[in-house]
Amino acid sequence: MDRSSLLQLIQEQQLDPEHTGFIGADTFTGLVHSHELPLDPAKLDMLVALAQSNERGQVCYQELVDLISSKRSSSFKRAIANGQRALPRDGLLDEPGLGVYKRFVRYVAYEILPREVDRHWYFYRHRSCPPPVFMASVTLAQIIVFLCYGARLNKWVLQTYHPEYMKSPLVYHPGHRARAWRFLTYMFMHVGLEQLGFNALLQLMIGVPLEMVHGLLRISLLYLAGVLAGSLTVSITDMRAPVVGGSGGVYALCSAHLANVVMNWAGMRCPYKLLRMVLALVCMSSEVGRAVWLRFSPPLPASGPQPSFMAHLAGAVVGVSMGLTILRSYEERLRDQCGWWVVLLAYGTFLLFAIFWNVFAYDLLGAHIPPPP
């Protein structure tokens, strides 16, 4: 029986004959068992929790409808808040007899979500379709582009030092600012094997679990916002430098996840979280330091300025601001949050400023731009 059929059955049974807006929990439970309705265990637990949190042992009809339809609304939020205290306290780690994929889903739940109620809800309602295709597709495309240029140039380390590499139509170069697609497509190009390996590893280890929990639209928005902010920040702060690599998007994902862990430290139950936090910060700081070194003290002579490191920092800022807002709203529409509109307004203001800067500031300041390759 699907969702609409269940709601129709509830209406036909006249569970609320006096139109009070509430349904007796025992009545609804009997209906579920008598018709053998395939209701998710998490939803059934939530219904019991809602009934226990009500003095009369009743469930609000609208909350029942929202729970069945998984609608993210104000009543859904109230249902989560009221039922949280009464949900079973046993953790998902104690769930026996799980297959490999379900164990991975359980791992993702504990890795990403800070509350047990959210972990239960995600674990029982998770479906393998659609799969987390965005981060996997981006990583695969970056690897393919790297291999193609490596084979073509016969250079696998520090590819940017090859004179033909920077002629790619994907690289952002200040002399090609009018070609707007370069502000995004530079994420498919990388300095060398080390940068590609670092970005690909983080995208798969952090980006895929985030996408599994929060969905393709939210994580792709966060990743692309970090990429775009990275190139635009470079065009403002390091006006002579090109940009390559997906570090803006990677740092947006990483900083958002790390900030979410810090903000919900007591509720996060991922193992060795302090050690992993320290290792992540050390690796990210080392990557930024390496980018700074390549920018100002290149080990090999080059025909022009080397790629900027400012995209890393811009991505981190996007992750802490926009990303933290996205990750804190697991079961709530973004448009229902005041903080989301504030962050979106700030990001839009930055985009408008960056566009005007690229159109007018270079000529007004007389910036000396190296000739494009």
Residue, of 290 and 15, whose pLDDT is higher: 290
DSSP string across 9-25: HHHHTTS-TT--SEEEH
Tell me yes or no: is domain 1-82 CATH 1.10.238.
yes
137 Cβ contact partners less than 8 Å away, ≥ 6 residues apart: none
Cα–Cα distance for residue pair 192/50, rounded to 1 Å: 55
| Mean pLDDT for the chain overall | 81
Q: Which of 231, 247, 308, 329 is catalytic?
A: 247
What is the reported pLDDT for 86? Answer: 44
Read off the pLDDT of residues 212-249 as tens digits, 9 standing for 90 and up.
Answer: 999 999 999 999 999 999 999 999 999 989 999 999 99
Structure-token match 């992540």, residue found? 280
DSSP-assigned beta bridge partners for residue 23: 59
CATH topology of domain 131-363: Rhomboid-like fold (1.20.1540)
312 is catalytic: yes
Read off the pLDDT of residues 310-331 as tens digits, 9 standing for 90 and up.
Answer: 999 999 999 999 988 888 877 6
DSSP-derived letter for residue 33 is H
What is the reported pLDDT for 75? Answer: 47
Read off the pLDDT of residues 248-278 as tens digits, 9 standing for 90 and up.
Answer: 999 999 999 999 998 888 888 888 888 888 9
Task: Report helix, strand or coil for 58.
Answer: strand
What percent of the chain has a predicted confidence (pLDDT) above 90?
Answer: 37
> Whole-model pTM?
0.79
Residue 337 confidence class, pLDDT cut points 50, 70, 90: confident
Contacts 24+ apart (CB under 8 A), 76-81: 76/331, 76/332, 77/331, 77/332, 79/46, 79/50, 80/46, 80/117, 80/121, 80/331
What is the reported pLDDT for 184? Answer: 96
Biggest CA–CA distance in the chain, Å, is 83
Q: Which of 120, 173, 214, 312 is catalytic?
A: 312
Read off the pLDDT of residues 33-50 as tens digits, 9 standing for 90 and up.
Answer: 665 555 566 666 666 666
Read off the pLDDT of residues 162-208 as tens digits, 9 standing for 90 and up.
Answer: 878 888 999 999 999 999 999 999 999 998 888 999 999 999 999 99
Residue 60 confidence class, pLDDT cut points 50, 70, 90: low
What is the reported pLDDT for 33? Answer: 62
Crossing angle between the packed helical segments 193-202 and 273-296, to the nearest 10 degrees: 150
Residue 236: CA count within 13 A, CB half-sphere: 17
For the chain, the structural domain boundaries read 1-82, 131-363
Q: Are 171 and 180 in contact (CB under 8 A)?
A: no
